């Protein structure tokens, strides 16, 4: 059995029931096969892959809080500190009922390579809870966040582990978490990113993942002789990533015609009016259905099905495994030629293989959504220097980073004879830097 197959079998055996983690490990290891086979003896002796697939540490804890009826509620809280070879752990916190240890391990594992790709000195981690912020009052969200941070604060710090937002964690939650951290530790430090602008946040962080996604998409199109202007785009989700991907795509001359949430999707033949979406999602915390009540040219459809909307470019920006093989085939049949992932692992393995085999341009989340964490690292730099850079400065750095990520993925794919396969390219480029650091630091 090859080293890669051996490790994958062990991961499945030793991490039962963690399907998303198995899936992420398989995708990464399969695309690293060429590199690993070429270095097998050295890596085996150092148990490099065994160490790479095992988180350095998982912290799991109880989160008790009191709801508005005076009832005590208990949630599960986690932080997966996956790999600190190239810097302090960095990665978001997710609040969603589906959260479990396996999902956070998949996200933490992906984060290691993503963070490496950014070229910045950040290791990989991820955390969160099965708490559902939907339908909760501000007071309930605060009570949960304060209890969660009371435990988490023991394990994080500006030079140790720096969490950020993810699904269900936006400016409101980061504010509550930061306030409690400061109260407990007495430290005013860059321990969380995505902070408000008046207390250490960075300009562009809110927009960063969505903008970064469109910057790398634009670069991929240009390098393949195509352009974004004038193209029809379908984007799933209507949260942070989807909203700012829509904004940047529109600024660059594309027409975004569909958005979704977990209940259904809207199609607007005239192009999405983003101010209406922002009012519904960012101000009222409402449902995407309400868009069709407000805009005459829009139609709302309940349930899944967004990938049946005809488009040139698809940007999945909601959640893992939201786009399967049938969806991928429907996209291709309707003329879609490019896909870039704003979410983490939104395409199933079969869908990803179909995109690559059918010659579509495909940029995986690990590279495509790295703009968020990259800008978080820029926020950390500004906090350390006690400085605030301008919007233009941060935006220019973000764009530069995304163009560089494309170049690294493109170059690695070419070096290993799989030109145009940005899945392999991104995994190889991210892996090389982490391996170098792990080898240099000995058996830790």
When asked if residue 83 is in the footprint of ligand NDP (CB under 6 A), the reply is no
DSSP H or E stretch at residue 94: strand 89-95
- Complex with ligand NDP: residue 147 or 369, whichever CB lies closer: 369
For ligand NDP, the nearest residue by Cβ is 239
| Contact residue for ligand NDP among 104, 120, 167, 266 (CB under 6 A) | 167
- 126 assigned to active site: yes
- In eight-state DSSP terms, residue 197 is G
User: Quick one: 305 or 420, whose CB is closer to ligand NDP?
Assistant: 305
> Does residue number 209 form part of the binding site for ligand NDP (CB under 6 A)?
yes
Residue 202 binds ligand NDP (CB under 6 A): no
Closest approach, Cβ 248 to ligand NDP, in A, equals: 14
Beta-strand runs (E) in 138-240: 161-164, 232-235
| Residue 166 in contact with ligand NDP, rule: CB under 6 A | yes
Decide whether 48 or 243 has the Cβ nearer to ligand NDP. 243
Binding ligand NDP (rule: CB under 6 A), the pick from 143, 177, 313, 343 is 343
Determine, following the binding rule CB under 6 A, whether residue 207 of this chain makes contact with ligand NDP. no
Residues 233-272 that bind ligand NDP (CB under 6 A): 237-242, 261-263
Residue 312 or 322: which CB sits closer to ligand NDP?
A: 322
Residue 334 neighbours by CB distance under 10 Å: 15
- d(CA 299, CA 296) in angstroms, rounded, equals 8
CB of 91 to ligand NDP, least distance (A): 9
Q: Which of 105, 114, 126, 248 is catalytic?
A: 126
DSSP string, 256-293: EEEEE-SSEEEEETT---HHHHHIIIIIS---THHHHH
Going 56 to 30 to 320 to 413, the CA torsion angle's sign is positive
Q: Tokens for 146?
A: 């304060």
| From candidates 75, 116, 129, 319, binder to ligand NDP by CB under 6 A | 319
3-state helix, strand, coil in the chain (%, to 5): 50, 15, 35
Tell me the chain's radius of gyration from C-alpha atoms: 21
Interface with ligand NDP, residue 372, by CB under 6 A: yes
235: phi then psi, degrees, rounded to nearest 5: -125, 125
**Contact between residue 20 and residue 103 where contact means Cβ atoms under 8 Å apart:** yes
Q: Which residues carry out catalysis?
A: 126
Residues that bind ligand NDP (CB under 6 A): 165-168, 209, 237-242, 261-263, 317-319, 322, 342-344, 369, 372
């Amino acid at each position: 059995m090859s080293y890669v197959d051996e490790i994958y079998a062990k991961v499945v055996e030793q991490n039962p029931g963690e399907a998303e983690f198995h899936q992420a490990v398989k995708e990464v290891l399969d695309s690293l096969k060429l590199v690993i086979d070429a270095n097998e003896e050295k890596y085996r002796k150092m148990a490099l892959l065994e160490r790479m697939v095992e988180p350095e540490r998982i912290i799991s804890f109880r989160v008790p809080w009191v709801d508005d009826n005076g009832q005590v509620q208990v949630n599960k809280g986690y932080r997966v500190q996956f790999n600190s070879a190239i810097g302090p752990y960095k990665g978001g916190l997710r609040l969603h009922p589906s959260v479990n240890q396996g999902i956070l391990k998949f996200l933490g594992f992906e984060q290691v390579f993503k963070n490496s790709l950014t070229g910045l000195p950040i290791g990989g981690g991820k955390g969160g809870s099965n708490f559902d912020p939907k339908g909760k009052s501000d007071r309930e969200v605060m009570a949960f966040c304060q209890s969660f941070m009371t435990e988490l604060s023991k394990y994080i710090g500006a030079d140790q582990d720096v969490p950020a937002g993810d699904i269900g964690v936006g400016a409101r939650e980061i504010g509550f978490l930061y306030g409690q951290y400061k109260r407990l530790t007495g430290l005013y430090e860059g321990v969380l990113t995505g902070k408000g602008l008046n207390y250490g946040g960075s300009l562009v962080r809110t927009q960063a993942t969505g903008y970064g996604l469109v910057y790398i998409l634009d670069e991929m199109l240009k390098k393949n002789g195509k352009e974004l202007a004038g193209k029809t785009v379908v984007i799933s989700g209507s949260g942070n990533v989807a909203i700012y991907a829509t904004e940047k795509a529109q600024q660059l001359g594309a027409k975004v015609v569909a958005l979704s949430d977990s209940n259904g999707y809207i199609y607007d033949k005239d192009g999405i009016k983003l101010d209406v979406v922002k009012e519904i999602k960012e101000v009222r915390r409402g449902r995407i259905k309400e868009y069709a009540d407000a805009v005459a040219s829009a139609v709302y459809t309940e349930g899944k099905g967004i990938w049946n909307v005809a488009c040139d470019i698809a940007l999945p920006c909601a959640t893992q495994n939201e786009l399967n093989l049938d969806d991928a085939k429907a996209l291709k049949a309707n003329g879609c030629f490019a896909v870039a992932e704003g979410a983490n692992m939104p395409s199933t393995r079969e869908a990803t293989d179909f995109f690559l085999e059918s010659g579509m341009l495909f940029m995986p989340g690990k590279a495509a959504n790295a703009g968020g964490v990259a800008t978080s690292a820029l926020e950390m730099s500004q906090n350390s220097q006690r400085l605030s850079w301008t919007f233009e400065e941060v935006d220019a750095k973000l764009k530069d980073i995304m163009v560089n990520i494309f170049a690294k993925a493109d170059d690695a794919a070419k070096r290993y004879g799989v030109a145009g396969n940005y899945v392999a390219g991104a995994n190889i480029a991210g892996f090389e830097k982490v391996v170098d650091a792990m080898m240099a630091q000995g058996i830790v």
